Structure 1
Amino acid sequence: MEHTLTDRMKIGISACMYGAKVRYNAKGWDMLGYLKRERANFLWTPVCPEVMSGMGVPRPPIKLVGGNGIDFWDGGAQIKNRHGRNVSSMMRAGAKACMETLERADVDAYIFMEGSPSCGVYRTTLKNQRLGKPPGVFGALLLKKEIFLIPAADLQSPVKWWDWRRRLTAFTWLKRRDIDTVSDLFEIWHTLKFLCQEIDEKSSRELGHRIASFSKVTSLQEINRIRIEILELLRRPSDAKRVKQWLWKNYTHLKKIHGVEVEKVCPPETLRNMTHIAEEMLAVELEARREEKLFGSSPIDYRPSR
């Protein structure tokens, strides 16, 4: 089975994180600068629900009142600005316009501004790191559409970005593949199972047992249900501890079975900074690609054509 993704991935992004000065205070940040040359490997679609609502720049800041973004779409919450004006109808139109744009662009993922009452997913305020009332109005739509979501702040960390990028690559590769038979599913699970186990070992092992019990007469509906579960697993965030542990586990497997060896890789108990960990991961990834061996921590090779 081909383990390479060559079509450029399409990523939506909160426009203020793309560098556009569209925040309520007319500011923005170029978070893609942290990716350096790698930013050219993706097609970007910046959107801003608040600008598309017609509220303009600069504008009074807004907040959710009476519930969260999910409640907003059910009619149980409102968006008001600092002066108490109800701008819910404007916000609703802006969020819908942005989602329609992302759907036309057929994005594979979205990089969101956490802490925003519009784009926030797990936090809707920046004050003292409080949660606010998550998700935000647009964040609720993103969750409903089951888009692969990446917090913009994680682009600043080489380890966190590597973690999101390898899982987004696997997610997109799986999303674009045709799975017509149980044999197709077996091959896909063989490719992705170690990455899934790293993210959630218990759920992945249960999923593996279910797949192993399938027969040739298993329905296409059940096969597609498994695909959806794998995609959901790949969207979940990991953490640095698990990344280090499974890097070592998958690296020792490569070394033992295929003779792939990289000097700079350290065992998980070795103390080192995040930059060094990122360098280790990239080194193993590149060496496995060069030797054409499957690396469980990053099983899909992303080689976009420009």
Structure 2
Amino acid sequence: MKRVIQEKVVLGVSACNFGAPFRYNRRGWDRVKNMGREHSDFEWHPVCPEVGAGLGVPREPIKIAGSSGDDVWEGKAKIINRKGDDVTEKLKGSCLSTLEILRSVNAIGYVYMEGSPTCGVYRTTLKNKRLGHPPGVLGSLLLREGFFLIPAVDLDSPLRWWDWRRRLHAFAWVHSQEIQSKQDLYNLWYTVKFLCQEIDDSAARLIGKSLAMLPKGFSPEYAENLKREILEILRKPSTVNRIKERLWKSYVYFKKSTNQEIEDVLSPEIQRNMTRITKELITMERHAFSNGTFFSSAPILYRSEQRVNRMSKE
């Protein structure tokens, strides 16, 4: 199985984080632009369900009157604006249209505005650090549909973005794999096993035990269920300590396999800031790719066809 993807991953993104002043107060950010050249490694599709619902800019802020966005879809909660107007059906219709847009372009992930009653996933208000009633209306829909969900604010953090990026590429790769035999299943799991162990060791060990006890024969149903379990693990963020520990293990493996040292990679007990850790990770990625060595921290890399061809000639 190839461990390099050459097609750009397609992502939806809240338009207010793509430079559009679509927030209720006419504000917006261009967090994608701030990524520098790396933003061109993805195909972006900005959307705004609130504007799509005809609520306009500027507009009265809205909130969930009830438990959560989940309850909005079940008819147990409403969406009202500051004047008390009920905009539930307008917003639900726009969220469904947004989902269809994302499906039509084959988006597998979405960069969302946390704190929004529409796009929020873990918070639906920005005021006084309250949690609000998560998830939001669109957030609820995308969670249920299995999208890879990235908080837009994490694009501003080098280490958090690196963590999201490497899991996103693994997610896209697993999502695209056609499992037609038990060997395909074993190969898929081996490729992402170490990353899954870093993220959720308990869940990863259960998968390992399940594979070890597989009966003879191949079950397509089992394969699809396993893929879903792996994808669910890959949606979860890791921690700084676990990232540093896995980086060091990967470096030790690289050093043993190639007899090469990388001075920039430090042992996990050495304290350093997030930017420095990210630099080490990217350096390790490049060395592993150049030497054809498996980098368990980021097992799937994106490289454009032009870049792969250029490197093969060097």
Who is 2:231 aligned against? 231
Report if aligned partners of 1:119, 1:137 keep a CA contact under 8 Å in 2.
yes
Per the TM alignment, residue 249 of structure 1 is displaced from its structure 2 partner at its CA by: 1.6
Who is 1:183 aligned against? 183
Separation in 2, partners of 1:162, 1:266: 18
Q: Per-residue CA shift, 1:39-72, capped at 9, x if unaligned?
A: 1111111110100000111100001102210000
**1:58-77 paired onto structure 2 within 5 Å:** 58-77=58-77
Separation in 1, partners of 2:173, 2:261: 27
Q: Per-residue CA shift, 1:66-93, capped at 9, x if unaligned?
A: 2210000000111110111111111111
TM-score by length of 2: 0.95
For the pair 1:166 / 2:166, whether they are aligned, the reply is yes
Per the TM alignment, residue 96 of structure 1 is displaced from its structure 2 partner at its CA by: 1.1
Q: Which amino acid aligns with 1:202?
A: S
What value does the CA root-mean-square deviation take over the aligned residues?
1.2
Q: Per-residue CA shift, 1:16-44, capped at 9, x if unaligned?
A: 01111111011110011231001111111
Q: Which amino acid aligns with 1:279?
A: K
Who is 1:218 aligned against? 218
SS at match of 2:161: helix
Who is 1:79 aligned against? 79
Q: Which amino acid aligns with 2:294?
A: L
**1:13-92 paired onto structure 2 within 5 Å:** 13-92=13-92
Q: Per-residue CA shift, 1:84-125, capped at 9, x if unaligned?
A: 111111111111111111111110210000000000000000
For the pair 1:253 / 2:253, whether they are aligned, the reply is yes
Q: Which amino acid aligns with 2:31?
A: M
Separation in 2, partners of 1:251, 1:215: 36
Separation in 2, partners of 1:254, 1:100: 44
Separation in 2, partners of 1:304, 1:155: 21
1:305/1:58 CA distance change after superposition, 3 Å: farther
Separation in 1, partners of 2:305, 2:253: 31
How many pairs were matched up?
306
Give the ranges of 4+ consecutive aligned residues of structure 1 lying more than 4 Å apart after TM superposition. none
Separation in 2, partners of 1:304, 1:128: 43
Q: Per-residue CA shift, 1:131-181, capped at 9, x if unaligned?
A: 000000111101110100100000001111111101110110111111100
Report if aligned partners of 1:8, 1:305 keep a CA contact under 8 Å in 2.
no
Separation in 2, partners of 1:138, 1:13: 12
Report if aligned partners of 1:182, 1:215 keep a CA contact under 8 Å in 2.
no
Report if aligned partners of 1:12, 1:45 keep a CA contact under 8 Å in 2.
yes
**How many percent identity over aligned positions?**
47
Separation in 2, partners of 1:210, 1:259: 36
| Structure 1: runs of 5+ lacking an equivalent | none
Separation in 1, partners of 2:30, 2:116: 17
Separation in 2, partners of 1:271, 1:249: 17
Report if aligned partners of 1:4, 1:302 keep a CA contact under 8 Å in 2.
yes
SS at match of 1:31: coil
Q: Which amino acid aligns with 2:19?
A: G
**1:124-143 paired onto structure 2 within 5 Å:** 124-143=124-143
Per the TM alignment, residue 209 of structure 1 is displaced from its structure 2 partner at its CA by: 1.7
| Structure 2: runs of 5+ lacking an equivalent | 307-314
Who is 2:312 aligned against? none
- Per mean C-alpha deviation after superposition, the further-off stretch among 75-84 and 247-256 is 247-256
Separation in 1, partners of 2:71, 2:108: 26
SS at match of 1:217: coil
Who is 2:270 aligned against? 270
Per the TM alignment, residue 213 of structure 1 is displaced from its structure 2 partner at its CA by: 2.3
SS at match of 1:11: strand
Q: Which amino acid aligns with 1:85?
A: D
For the pair 1:99 / 2:88, whether they are aligned, the reply is no
- Per mean C-alpha deviation after superposition, the further-off stretch among 269-278 and 296-305 is 296-305
